[in-house]
Amino acid sequence: MSADETRTTQPDCDVVVVGAGFAGIYALWRARQRGLRARGFERASDVGGTWFWNAYPGARCDVESYNYAYFFDPEIVREWDWSDACAAQDEIQRYLRFVAERCDVVKDITFDTKVLSARYDETAGLWSIRTSGGETVVCRYAILAIGALSDPKAPDIEGVNEFAGEAYYTSSWPKDGSAVLHGKRVGVIGTGSSGVQAIPEIAKIASEVFVFQRTANYVTPTRAGPMDPKLVAALRKDPQATRRAFRDTYGGHIPLDMGSERFSELDDSGRERALLKAWAGNYIALAFRDAYLPEANAAISEFIRQRMGEQVTDLWTAEHLVPWDHPYGGKRPCQSDVYLQAFNQPHVHLIALTETPIERIVPGGITTTAETIPLDVIVYATGFDAISGPVFAIDILGMKGQSMKDTWADGPVNYLGTMVQGFPNLFLPSSAMSPSVLSNMATLAEQQIDFIFDTIEWLDQHGRPRLHPRPESQRHWREETLRYAERRPGALTTKSWYSGANIPGKPRVFMVYCGGFQRYNETCYAELERGFPGYEVMGSP
Ligand code: NA7
């Protein structure tokens, strides 16, 4: 290890892995399997990534746990018992700790340490990774497994620092029990997945809850509940087959149920019957085999709006909790069995910011255009600078001193969602232009880390050249991402964090590849099998 950032002639290790969530843990294990020397850095005090930080009350995965898990090791599949079909945050974090210990990678990770910068030395073909602990580690391959939703959005509201009460963020909820909301007047800003999950829990203990909603969201029932023992037995029988099967799906997971009929082939009564069945079975998003068609999506959206409205007793509140401005799936839809009903309690109040926007936060509460609401606590559930935010949080300089910030000034560019031209041997799993947040992130973590380590193996077998995408490959990939986004209802017309619209001044680029997991996986491996024609392979340093 070197204290001198400029010394890059000899690597301290083969691989540096930044982040210890799903992708980072698996990356360290893969490095070990290949006999590579690896160092991991994690800014938290434990593994978990997103699941470490988002410890707010009610935090839960909305992908079923049998899908949202590792499958690389059949023993892990057989040893871990999920207590719930959709596990809560603390259980997922315990699971990730279990896997990290089982794989013996905890000792490779330096915790409580941020990576500040990554600098590429073109002559040596090595990366220098500088940390908040004052260390500089030189490596051949850098893997930034930093997640897509790990850079909280700073609240863009006047007076945030003037509030005299307590303020908490769902994205960094205190784990020491110091957030005491019992009997308090609590304001919650934000009604995305985090707000929707947290609000009913906060309502159980607060004396008054004021929900500041800028945009209403689709809320459908969850699949939480006990795991089906037959399903558990089936998964344990052949985990490797399950793993392969996941990669051959559109979303990287196998839904329990989905509609068997096509919207386009049904008459009105058939459509209504299919929608009712899907709602009862909790698979409304997949009510039809062709649910991706705009007409099918419109029918699903309208059906959900009706079901949502029925659950809320007060007419004004019901009308304002129902999303009218975007189709289902345009924004990340939410799941909850108790959110809408929470507003039927007399102490839970909806403040519709479409009618009475927040003017500013004042020492005693929140002032809207209509009134000042006195508060003891403000909970910010205001989301993240998604996908590109975590990348910008590290000062990354590639070839010719080119910075990632400049390279992505007009929005992210990369090839196959993992590598950027001018940044050789730097890998960005879970980042832009991959199936990322529109797929099963656990399957994606395994797929991308496999692809990255299969790429590293290829490089090692070919004299360790340096690899980065060709500019034309990046242009092609951006066009492909846009082409598939155009087919997704609401993707390009809705203001969502998928396209950076939640961050003032952020370029509006749809950042998720919607061509499907199977196509994505096959495209990645076609590159590898053909010797990386879409990349520039530069000779050994
Ligand atoms: P989201 O989905 O980005 O939700 C953030 C919410 O905060 C959303 O309702 C925003 O309204 C609202 N927001 C953000 N800034 C403001 C201001 N200034 N004033 C009022 N309201 C505001 O983040 P989550 O944490 O809920 O979920 C992120 C993902 O984590 C989730 O999809 C899961 O994958 C896990 P807007 O819609 O922008 O009008």
Find the mean pLDDT for residues 291-305: 97
Helix (H/G/I), strand (E/B), else coil: 460: helix
What distance in Å separates the CA atoms of residue 56 and residue 33, rounded to the nearest whole number? 35
- Mutating to test ligand 1, I would choose from 214, 351, 494 the residue with most ligand atoms within 8 A of its C-beta, which is 214
Size (the chain), residues: 541
- CB 113 within 8 Å of CB 41: yes
386 alpha carbon to ligand 1 midpoint, in Å? Answer: 11
Q: What is the pLDDT of residues 393-424, one digit of tens each?
A: 999 999 999 999 999 999 999 999 999 999 99
189 alpha carbon to ligand 1 midpoint, in Å? Answer: 8
What distance in Å separates the CA atoms of residue 196 and residue 383, rounded to the nearest whole number? 12
Q: Which of 435, 432, 425 is nearest to 398 (CA)?
A: 425
Residue with tokens 């959206």: 301
CB burial readout 452-478, b (16+ within 10 A) else e: bbbbbebbeeeebbbbbbeeebbeebb
**Burial status of residue 523 (CB atoms within 10 A of its CB: 0-12, 13-18, 19 or more):** middle
383 alpha carbon to ligand 1 midpoint, in Å? Answer: 4
Counting DSSP H helices and E strands in the chain, the numbers are 16, 20
Q: What is the model's pLDDT at position 4? A: 44
What distance in Å separates the CA atoms of residue 171 and residue 173, rounded to the nearest whole number? 6
- Mutating to test ligand 1, I would choose from 171, 332, 361, 440 the residue with most ligand atoms within 8 A of its C-beta, which is 332
Residue with tokens 């947290």: 198
165 alpha carbon to ligand 1 midpoint, in Å? Answer: 22
- Mutating to test ligand 1, I would choose from 56, 339, 380, 382 the residue with most ligand atoms within 8 A of its C-beta, which is 382
Order of strands across the sheet that contains 358-362: 358-362, 365-368, 372-374
pLDDT tier at 346 (50, 70, 90 boundaries)?
very high
* Closest ligand 1 atom, residue 170 Cα: 25
pLDDT tier at 1 (50, 70, 90 boundaries)?
very low
**Distance of CA 93 to CAs 20, 47, 386, 409, Å?**
11, 7, 21, 34
pLDDT tier at 8 (50, 70, 90 boundaries)?
low
Q: What is the model's pLDDT at position 110? A: 98
What distance in Å separates the CA atoms of residue 167 and residue 250, rounded to the nearest whole number? 40
Residue 541 reports pLDDT greater than 80: no
Which residue lies with its CA nearest to atom 15 of ligand 1? 382
Helix (H/G/I), strand (E/B), else coil: 17: strand
Which residue lies with its CA nearest to atom 12 of ligand 1? 190
**Burial status of residue 6 (CB atoms within 10 A of its CB: 0-12, 13-18, 19 or more):** exposed
Least confident of 75-84, 250-259, 425-434, 522-531: 250-259
Q: What is the pLDDT of residues 189-234, one digit of tens each?
A: 999 999 999 999 999 999 999 999 999 999 999 988 888 888 888 8
What distance in Å separates the CA atoms of residue 470 and residue 142, rounded to the nearest whole number? 19
What distance in Å separates the CA atoms of residue 123 and residue 97, rounded to the nearest whole number? 39
Residue 85 reports pLDDT greater than 70: yes
Q: What is the pLDDT of residues 327-344, one digit of tens each?
A: 999 999 999 999 999 999
Opening angle at CA 480, ends 475 and 481, nearest 5: 100
191 alpha carbon to ligand 1 midpoint, in Å? Answer: 6
Q: What is the pLDDT of residues 19-78, one digit of tens each?
A: 999 999 999 999 999 999 999 999 999 999 999 999 999 999 998 898 899 999 999 999
182 alpha carbon to ligand 1 midpoint, in Å? Answer: 24
Least confident of 104-113, 222-231, 273-282, 294-303: 222-231
* Closest ligand 1 atom, residue 502 Cα: 38
* Closest ligand 1 atom, residue 382 Cα: 7
Tokens of 16: 């540096």
What distance in Å separates the CA atoms of residue 324 and residue 368, rounded to the nearest whole number? 22
Residue 86 reports pLDDT greater than 70: yes
Please state the separation of Cα 444 from the chain's center in Å: 11
Which residue lies with its CA nearest to atom 10 of ligand 1? 190
Task: Give the list of residues 6+ apart from residue 440 with CB closer than 8 angstroms, or none.
Answer: 63, 67, 68, 246, 251, 252, 253, 517
Q: What is the mean pLDDT of the chain?
A: 95
- With a pLDDT cut of 70, the percent of the chain lying above it is 98
Which residue lies with its CA nearest to atom 35 of ligand 1? 193
What distance in Å separates the CA atoms of residue 100 and residue 386, rounded to the nearest whole number? 26
Helix (H/G/I), strand (E/B), else coil: 380: strand
* Closest ligand 1 atom, residue 358 Cα: 19
**Distance of CA 152 to CAs 50, 157, 381, Å?**
11, 14, 10
Tokens of 380: 């910010």
Ligand 1 site, CB within 6 A: 149, 155-157, 170, 189-195, 212, 214-215, 332, 353, 358, 381-384, 437, 497, 502
pLDDT tier at 5 (50, 70, 90 boundaries)?
very low
Q: Name residue 403's beta-bridge partners.
A: 397
249 alpha carbon to ligand 1 midpoint, in Å? Answer: 28
Which residue lies with its CA nearest to atom 16 of ligand 1? 382
Which residue lies with its CA nearest to atom 25 of ligand 1? 383
195 alpha carbon to ligand 1 midpoint, in Å? Answer: 8
* Closest ligand 1 atom, residue 193 Cα: 26
Amino acid, single-letter form, for residue 361: I
Q: What is the DSSP string of 46-69?
A: SS-THHHH---TT-B-SS-TTTSS
**Burial status of residue 517 (CB atoms within 10 A of its CB: 0-12, 13-18, 19 or more):** buried
Helix (H/G/I), strand (E/B), else coil: 160: helix
